[in-house]
Amino acid sequence: MDAMNQTPELLKAEILRLTRQYAKLTHGAMLPANDPARVCPELATSVIPYAGRVFDADEVEAAVSSSLDFWLTLGAQGEAFEAELAAALGVRSSLLVNSGSSANLIALSALTTSKLPPHRRVRHGDEVITVAAGFPTTVSPIIQSGAVPVFIDNDPVTGNARVDQLEQAFVPGKTKAVMMAHTLGNPFDLGAVLEFCQRHELWLIEDNCDALGSTYEMPLAKARALGFGPRFGQNPSSHFHASTGAWGDLSTQSFYPPHHITMGEGGAVNIVSKAALRSYAESFRDWGRDCWCASGKDDTCGRRFAWQLGELPEGYDHKYIYSCLGYNLKPLDLQAAIGRQQLKKFPAFVEARKRNWALLRAGLNGLGEFFEFTLPTHATAWSPEGFSWDDSGCRTDCSWFGFMLRVKPSAPFSHTELARHLDAQRIGNRMLFGGNLVRQPAFVHLRKERPEAFRVAAELDGADALMRQALFLGTYPGLTGEMISRMIEVIHEFVGLHATA
């Protein structure tokens, strides 16, 4: 093709055609496991990762197309992705940021704005209830915003918070919010947490970074008492269900490569129903400015030179008025273009994660003498036919981030020995993130320097058990049946060696 004689549109089309061709030749190993064109490496010599990117030529084409347009900062692709993500979750709106950790920072920061009523605002020294075992950036924004995290324990069976300790952690006039994660895609007990928050007029931030695609269900009468009910277009039934991330006041997502969908880096803050929270979160994301104009746009409010705020002169340019001490935490439009393609594959990704978890659970079922297995919240037992449930009427459907198992104290090996063996056999695995966070060096040092910086509300035996016994394997959509069989085989062989030693 003679590039000099082509229009920009035709030339771009040719570039994108070649891009797709290149992607198909180069990235065959990144396709979903069930794609017939998937290039599978030799199991005997390759690594079975616990997580990773899963994509095809669509994402590569979208990235190149966006880079050719060279808008760079958030624009049309970002606006479209935010709308599509909000629709997928069933929330009022979503706000893109540059990571899941930044999303947690922005979500908590939004509750510190002076625009909130004093009794709802999270001020310096106020307390936010969280859970001890998990990822540190669920907790660090609380401290970074001047508040005090109050730790409750984990239930080792679900990995989630011991909700029976919520009242023990509560201090009237001091406690302002609850902020915790849905562990490894397993929703925490939203029914109990929402009732607690409603009773004490507290904010709820759901860290949904590991749980995109998970759902929670409760009896309709309970949902209505909490302010939920069938939404427009839904058929009424005896139960109400919604995605995790759509129950609290704010929720957060991560799009880092191990997560359910990826932009490389990237994250989002979801505003469930209260429109004002969007403007607070957006202000903290965008330097702290009071103006809500998107990049490249001016005078959205029609009053750019008609405001008088703070001690500024009347008519000072609204694009340079700052109502909070904010950050710059936006991603690129190119990342949003990739994310839009990932969203199209998202339902299939969720089903693959559920299927892979079920295969691992069935394959390891005979090892109950050595391992404790995770149960979804509200489940009481697992069998090959499915789960048994408690009598609360609540159910969870997990979009599993990973398959967690806990080595029993009576086992003839430790979880560290198992992890080392899996690593030697090139099978990816991880501990439950930071384990009991209060035992991490950062928190040990903080306790010595500023003992008032955080508070422990109860004994953290469950968090310690997860720290000492738990690890998780992958469930991501890039795992083939052969890979999962290999994981099961290696664990059985390892147990067999130790059981007969």
Q: Name the residue type at position 457.
A: A
Q: Quick one: CA dihedral 164, 165, 166, 168, positive or negative?
A: positive
Distances (CA, A) of 281 to 15, 94, 338: 38, 10, 23
In 194-263, the DSSP E strands lie at 203-207, 215-219, 239-243, 250-254
pLDDT of 292 reads 79
pLDDT band at 232 (very low <50, low <70, confident <90, very high): very low
Which pLDDT tens digit goes with each residue over 363-388? Answer: 999 999 999 999 999 999 999 999 99
Burial class (CB in 10 A: 0-12, 13-18, 19+), 1: exposed
Q: Quick one: CA dihedral 281, 282, 286, 287, positive or negative?
A: negative
Burial class (CB in 10 A: 0-12, 13-18, 19+), 294: middle
- Rg over alpha carbons for the chain, rounded to the nearest Å, is 24
Round to whole Å and give the CA distance between 128 and 455.
Answer: 10
Determine the distance from the C-alpha atom of residue 308 to the mean position of all C-alpha atoms in its chain, rounded to a whole number. 39
Whether residue 1 has pLDDT greater than 70: no
Rounded percentage of the chain residues whose pLDDT exceeds 70: 98
| Structure tokens given for 483 | 């890979």
Are 100 and 256 in contact by the 8 Å Cβ rule? The answer is yes
Which pLDDT tens digit goes with each residue over 32-85? Answer: 999 999 998 888 789 999 999 999 999 999 999 999 999 999 999 999 999 999
φ, ψ for residue 493, nearest 5 deg: -65, -40
Structural class in CATH, domain 346-499: alpha beta
Whether residue 217 has pLDDT greater than 90: yes
Helix (H, G, I), strand (E, B) or coil at 348: helix
Which pLDDT tens digit goes with each residue over 270-318? Answer: 999 999 999 999 999 999 999 878 777 888 888 999 999 999 999 999 9
pTM listed for this prediction: 0.95
Round to whole Å and give the CA distance between 243 and 478.
Answer: 23
pLDDT of 340 reads 98
The mean per-residue pLDDT over the stretch 469-487 comes to: 97
pLDDT of 234 reads 52
pLDDT band at 2 (very low <50, low <70, confident <90, very high): low
Cα end-to-end distance, the chain, whole Å: 69
Q: Are strands 239-243 and 215-219 parallel, antiparallel or unpaired?
A: antiparallel
Are 310 and 322 in contact by the 8 Å Cβ rule? The answer is no
The packing angle between helices 57-69 and 333-363, to 10°, is 160
Give the mean pLDDT of the chain: 95
Edge-to-edge strand ranges of the sheet holding 93-97: 93-97, 267-271, 250-254, 203-207, 175-181, 127-131, 148-152, 455-456
pLDDT band at 173 (very low <50, low <70, confident <90, very high): very high
pLDDT band at 360 (very low <50, low <70, confident <90, very high): very high
Helix (H, G, I), strand (E, B) or coil at 91: coil
Round to whole Å and give the CA distance between 357 and 262.
Answer: 20
The mean per-residue pLDDT over the stretch 395-402 comes to: 98
| Number of C-beta neighbours around residue 116 at 10 A | 18
Name residue, tokens 């090892």.
367
Q: Name the residue type at position 355.
A: R
pLDDT band at 500 (very low <50, low <70, confident <90, very high): confident
pLDDT of 3 reads 60
Helix (H, G, I), strand (E, B) or coil at 231: coil
| Structure tokens given for 69 | 């347009």
pLDDT band at 231 (very low <50, low <70, confident <90, very high): low
Which pLDDT tens digit goes with each residue over 236-281? Answer: 678 999 999 999 999 999 999 999 999 999 999 999 999 999 999 9
pLDDT band at 233 (very low <50, low <70, confident <90, very high): very low
pLDDT of 62 reads 98
Which residue ranges make up each domain of the chain? 346-499
CA-wise closest residue to 398 among 219, 226, 225, 160: 160
Rounded percentage of the chain residues whose pLDDT exceeds 90: 92
Which amino acids are annotated catalytic? 259
pLDDT of 298 reads 87
Round to whole Å and give the CA distance between 27 and 35.
Answer: 12
